[in-house]
């Protein structure tokens, strides 16, 4: 059953940021309890919103979520689902390493969960192997309530079907930095440059050049895999899709230009030397003033999962999107790791409940009173500032960026594994200063073969 349009902004406006909590791998199931109790006023907002939702009676009120973290963090959504439909989110826990083994065992054993987290490294392979089911009949994308996410949902499309429920426009990977250090070194605040439409590759590199001094323990760009986000700012994914077929763009001029820029960052010593620190990312260097930028996700500015920055969240630490490609026609951002995207499992026992749950998640984005409550909870629970929350609102607003989805991770383990041909080609210039042209010459055919193999399976 499809739920009609209703206007509401969720208390969960920003509590939907991913939390990668460790789990014990057991199959224990239990209804989610909100992480922090709602006040009576907050519950009144939830109940008022619930009373405005379409009246439907769910035959099965339990939606089963299998993941390595709880949905308990999204307490407002859970409360709204319960208030509106008597719905329960049932958590089944698995550890990250065994997640797909656990999922397969439950599906094959006739005890499938309903929903599972989206991961780029299993898309589209998870669809091809019939692990996931399309959501076309569950979500009415022509409904106004989904209008703001229609463009980004198109990016997650495979073949003629939609498989990924994207509840809001993803802001993409971020560059996290320490404002106090920016000020101490007389640098322009990257946020100010962004507001002035001056935040591009050149401004980014100039800032790195001004800051980096390895003799003084000052390093440039850290974090895992910033190459992905930087290349996507060209607007051309390394592995794209056209007419339901994967396309190899490794030889595209835009990708080559981005890799040339990344190689220059390596040549000039502006990347963080992982090998010198036993492959530790040292996020704490941001707080200590030893690293200018850390490439990461929005969840990393939440103190619960980011202990090195815990005391600095509201004060010193801020973030900007990856800089604009000065030669691109638009401001593009990578949405491949889309936050809080859910997948419907093939054979899910309660698709009707999933439809209601996903629509609750989506409509919980509009009501101003509910939004104010959600913002206050983020300030109280996670020490985030009003400025941060305002900026997240802006970054997630439709039209701020043009989304780019790259299929680089979901092509099969032999091609995309660490040390494999695609990963070596992507990371070689920035990590090791290897010639991108030579890497493409060496690996292009193997990558193309894998793409053609996948394309044949979809014909």
Question: No. of H helices and E strands in the chain?
Answer: 17, 14
Sign of CA dihedral 127, 299, 353, 145: negative
CA 376, CA 389: separation in Å to the nearest integer? 10
CA 170, CA 366: separation in Å to the nearest integer? 16
Residue 291 in tokens: 């690293």
Residue 301 in tokens: 């500015």
pLDDT at 313: 60
pLDDT at 398: 82
pLDDT at 303: 59
411-445 as b/e, with b when 16 or more CB fall inside 10 Å? bbeebbeeebbbbbbbbbbbbeebebeebbeebee
pLDDT at 306: 56
Classify the phi-psi angles of 236: left when phi > 0, otherwise alpha if psi is within -120 to 50, otherwise beta: beta
pLDDT at 17: 35
Instruction: Domains for the chain: give ranges and CATH numbers.
Output: 29-170+338-386 (3.40.190.10), 174-334+411-458 (3.40.190.10)
CA 72, CA 230: separation in Å to the nearest integer? 33
pLDDT at 28: 45
Residue 237 in tokens: 């994914």
Task: Write the burial class of residue 339 (CB in 10 Å: 0-12 exposed, 13-18 middle, 19+ buried).
Answer: buried
Cβ atoms 351, 140 nearer than 8 A: no
Per-10-residue mean pLDDT of the chain, 459 residues long, equals: 32 34 40 62 88 91 94 75 95 93 94 95 89 92 83 86 86 92 97 98 98 97 95 97 91 98 98 94 91 90 61 78 97 86 95 94 72 75 84 88 90 78 94 96 93 83
Cβ atoms 232, 426 nearer than 8 A: no
Cβ atoms 187, 207 nearer than 8 A: yes
CA 265, CA 433: separation in Å to the nearest integer? 9
Cβ atoms 85, 56 nearer than 8 A: yes
Cβ atoms 99, 54 nearer than 8 A: no
pLDDT at 99: 94
pLDDT at 27: 44
End-to-end CA distance of the chain: 30
């Amino acid at each position: 059953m499809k739920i009609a349009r209703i206007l509401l902004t969720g208390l969960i406006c920003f509590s939907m940021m991913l939390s990668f909590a460790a789990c014990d791998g057991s199959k224990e199931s239990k209804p989610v309890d909100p992480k922090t109790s709602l006040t009576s006023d907050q519950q009144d907002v939830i109940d008022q919103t619930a009373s405005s939702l379409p009246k439907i009676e769910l035959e099965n009120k339990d939606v089963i979520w299998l993941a390595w973290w709880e949905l308990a963090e999204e307490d407002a959504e859970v409360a709204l689902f319960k208030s509106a439909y008597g719905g329960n989110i049932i958590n089944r826990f698995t550890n990250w390493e065994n997640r797909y083994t656990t999922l397969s065992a439950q599906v094959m054993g006739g005890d499938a969960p309903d929903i599972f987290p989206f991961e780029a490294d299993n898309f589209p392979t998870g669809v091809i192997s019939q692990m996931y089911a399309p959501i076309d009949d569950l979500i009415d994308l022509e409904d106004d309530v989904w209008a703001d996410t229609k463009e980004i949902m198109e990016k997650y499309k495979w073949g003629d079907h939609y498989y990924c429920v994207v509840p809001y426009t993803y802001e993409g990977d971020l560059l996290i930095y320490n404002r106090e250090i920016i000020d101490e070194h007389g640098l322009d605040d990257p946020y100010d440059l962004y507001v002035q439409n001056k935040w591009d590759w050149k401004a980014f590199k100039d800032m790195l050049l001004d800051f980096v001094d390895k003799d003084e323990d000052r390093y440039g760009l850290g974090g895992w895999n910033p190459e992905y986000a930087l290349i996507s700012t060209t607007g051309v994914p390394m592995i794209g899709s056209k007419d339901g077929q994967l396309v190899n763009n490794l030889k595209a001029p835009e990708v080559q230009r981005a890799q040339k820029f990344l190689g220059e960052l390596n040549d000039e010593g502006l990347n963080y030397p992982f090998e010198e620190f036993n492959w530790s990312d040292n996020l704490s260097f941001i707080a200590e003033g030893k690293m200018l930028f850390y490439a990461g996700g929005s969840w990393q500015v939440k103190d619960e999962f980011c202990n090195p920055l815990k005391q600095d969240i509201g004060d010193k630490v801020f973030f900007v999107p990856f800089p604009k490609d000065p030669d691109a026609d638009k401001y593009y951002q990578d949405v491949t790791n889309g936050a809080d995207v859910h997948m419907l499992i093939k054979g899910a026992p309660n698709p009707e409940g999933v439809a209601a749950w996903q629509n609750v998640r989506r409509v919980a984005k509009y009501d101003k009173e509910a939004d104010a409550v959600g913002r206050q909870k983020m300030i109280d629970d996670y020490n985030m500032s009003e400025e941060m929350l305002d900026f997240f609102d802006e970054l997630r607003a439709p039209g701020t960026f043009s989304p780019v989805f790259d299929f680089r991770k979901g092509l099969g383990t032999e091609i995309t594994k660490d040390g494999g041909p695609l990963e070596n080609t992507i990371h070689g210039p920035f990590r090791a200063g290897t010639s991108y042209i030579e890497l493409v010459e060496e690996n292009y055919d193997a990558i193309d073969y894998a793409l053609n193999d996948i394309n044949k399976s979809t014909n």
